Chains A and B, each alone.
Chain A
Amino acid sequence: DVKVTQSSRYLVKRTGEKVFLECVQDMDHENMFWYRQDPGLGLRLIYFSYDVKMKEKGDIPEGYSVSREKKERFSLILESASTNQTSMYLCASSFGTGAQETQYFGPGTRLLVL
């Protein structure tokens, strides 16, 4: 069974803190993605990775960085958290890069930055 797990379901951090969100998939997928979901805006792509140690910017990469040292793990890093980064963060993975490839999502991490 396909599984994408995220390290935390809820996080509360203070402005200026460094925040790590971890995502692990057990499907040997090549591709991994980080999105944030906000009311009225849907899911917006932050960063994605097509291979280990490889990363590409999505639509809203500002204020974020990522790390992919192993195929199964993709980390999202907020170097200095700000209140406008309060959001639901969703990780996803897919096997290939074709248009028809299904993305499998984790349950999400709801981050509150105070």
Chain B
Amino acid sequence: DQQVKQNSPSLSVQEGRISILNCDYTNSMFDYFLWYKKYPAEGPTFLISISSIKDKNEDGRFTVFLNKSAKHLSLHIVPSQPGDSAVYFCAASALMGDGNKLVFGAGTILRVKS
């Protein structure tokens, strides 16, 4: 039972255009959401996050939107660049024991064509 779902395994976008990566979750107890980016042969690196009390967070070309009523978040990359080509993981934070753990989605492979 996947609590965090990324329904698009892959996405292809032209350089300079907008990339929109989507993520849905089922557990209403999640209170923080994060996006990680992973290049081949490297570990994931943190990209951007959003608290459940906000609906938008922006950092340069990257913006994350959260729709709590729909249990949906999305990552927008504008403008997309070839170096953005990577696997993007959506993650949600859940309280467990003395701390929080992350629950990850399956990932979306983004290809930005030049």
Interface residues as binary, A55-78 with B (CB distance below 8 Å gives 1, 0 otherwise): 010100000000000000000000
Separation of A96 and B107 alpha carbons in the complex (Å): 25
Residues of B within 8 Å of A31, CB to CB, are: 99
Report whether A43 and B101 are in contact in the complex, using a CB–CB cutoff of 8 Å: no
**B17 to nearest A CB, angstroms?**
26
**A32 to nearest B CB, angstroms?**
12
Report whether B93 and A56 are in contact in the complex, using a CB–CB cutoff of 8 Å: no
Known contacts A98-B100, A99-B93, A103-B102: does B44 contact A43 (CB below 8 Å)?
A: yes
**B83 interface hit (Cβ, 8 Å):** no
Residues of B within 8 Å of A102, CB to CB, are: 34, 46
> How many residues of A sit at the interface, in one of the four size bands?
20 to 34
| In the complex, residue of chain A having the shortest beta-carbon distance to the beta carbon of B41 | A107
Report whether A100 and B49 are in contact in the complex, using a CB–CB cutoff of 8 Å: yes
Residues of A within 8 Å of B62, CB to CB, are: none
Report whether A106 and B43 are in contact in the complex, using a CB–CB cutoff of 8 Å: yes
**B66 to nearest A CB, angstroms?**
14
B29-77 interface with A by 8 A CB criterion: 31-32, 34, 36, 41-46, 49, 51
Report whether A42 and B104 are in contact in the complex, using a CB–CB cutoff of 8 Å: yes
Q: Which of A12-20, A44-52, A79-87 is the contact stretch?
A: A44-52
Separation of A45 and B102 alpha carbons in the complex (Å): 8
Report whether A107 and B32 are in contact in the complex, using a CB–CB cutoff of 8 Å: no
Separation of A40 and B89 alpha carbons in the complex (Å): 11
Known contacts A31-B99, A42-B107: does B32 contact A99 (CB below 8 Å)?
A: yes
Residue positions of A touching B, CB distance < 8 A: 4, 9, 31, 35, 40-45, 48, 50, 56, 58, 90, 92, 96-108
Residue positions of B touching A, CB distance < 8 A: 4, 6, 9, 31-32, 34, 36, 41-46, 49, 51, 89, 91, 93, 95-107
Can you list 25 A-B contacts with CB-CB less than 8 angstroms, sorted by A residue number? A31-B99, A40-B106, A41-B106, A42-B106, A43-B91, A43-B102, A45-B101, A45-B102, A45-B103, A48-B101, A56-B96, A56-B97, A97-B100, A98-B99, A99-B51, A99-B93, A99-B95, A100-B93, A102-B34, A103-B102, A104-B43, A105-B36, A106-B43, A108-B41, A108-B43
